[in-house]
Amino acid sequence: MLPKLIFLVNRAAMLIPQTTSDLIAGELRQDIARGVIQPGSPLRQEAIAKRFSVSRIPVREALRTLERDGLVEVHPNRGAYVVRLSSEEVVETTDLRILIEGDLIARAAPKMSDADLSAVVAAAKTAELASATPAWNDADREFHVALYAPARRPQQLALAVSLRRSIARYWSVYGQLPARRREWLRDHTRLVEACRNRDGKTAQRLLADHIRRAGDFLLARLPADRAMRK
């Protein structure tokens, strides 16, 4: 888990020196995921350095970290910007998620031990409790990780998490969960039940529908898509 910022008074407080760039990257990552920093927004080094009371050196390192994560694009002579997904990228990411995550859960469900299932149930409960808070994105990710972990395919799981991260910030920006909280939680309940029955085919079908509806909902809210329809 990424380290969290330690504040002395407020968000502009000094950071622990030995982990400054990681801490800045973690805080900016949270701001992007929660929609505090919008897609396409510039990330000015001077402003970020002032916010965290640091020099520009750890800020540059933090931006490089976010660039590696696929959250930020750095353009020579223009600076860094939060990545803005196009409708085509949303469709492609959704299709890839269905393939990769669907395969994971199809493999995982039949193999689940009682301990694995207990971890899934606990993660589902945590996600439910977090569903009305800004932490819902992280809780949702941990639920899905718990679903897929029994497949014992770490590289595929890492790819699934990366794809989820690339699109998760848009769910916050365009209000996906508040508008669909009951549906989202109902999907979780059905996925847990399929895993309880060790039914990989049903779990895969439910998950594909869950991911597809989330992608369609997001597409309907991307500004570029609205402009294209006019």
CATH number reported for the structural domain that contains residue 21 in this entry: 1.10.10.10
Type and span of the H or E element at 202: helix 200-219
123 in the same domain as 35: no
94 in the same domain as 37: no
121 in the same domain as 200: yes
String of DSSP letters for 88-104:
HHHHHHHHHHHHHHHHH
pLDDT at residue 9 is higher than 90: no
207 in the same domain as 119: yes
70 in the same domain as 26: yes
Q: How far is CA 183 from CA 142, 179, 188, 220, in A?
A: 18, 9, 9, 17
Residue written as token pair 């848009």: 170
Confirm whether 7 is domain-assigned: no
Confirm whether 9 is domain-assigned: no
Each residue's pLDDT tens digit, 118-143: 999 999 999 999 887 767 878 889 99
Q: Which pLDDT score is estimated for 83? A: 82
203 in the same domain as 167: yes
Number of independent structural domains in the chain:
2
Q: Measured between alpha carbons, how far is 4 from 160 in angstroms, rounded to an integer?
A: 23
189 in the same domain as 109: yes
Confirm whether 43 is domain-assigned: yes
Name the percent of the chain lying above pLDDT 70: 83
- Please provide the average confidence, as pLDDT, over all residues in the chain: 83
Q: What is the pTM of this model?
A: 0.70
109 in the same domain as 75: no
Residue 52 CA neighbour count, 13 Å, CB half:
28
Q: Measured between alpha carbons, how far is 16 from 176 in angstroms, rounded to an integer?
A: 35
In our burial notation (b when 16+ CB lie closer than 10 A, e otherwise), range 37-55 reads bebeeebebeebbeebebe
Q: By residue range, what is the domain housing residue 138?
A: 87-229
Pick from 82, 98, 128: which residue ends a domain?
82
Going by pLDDT thresholds of 50, 70 and 90, the confidence category of residue 5 is very low
Residue written as token pair 């497949």: 151
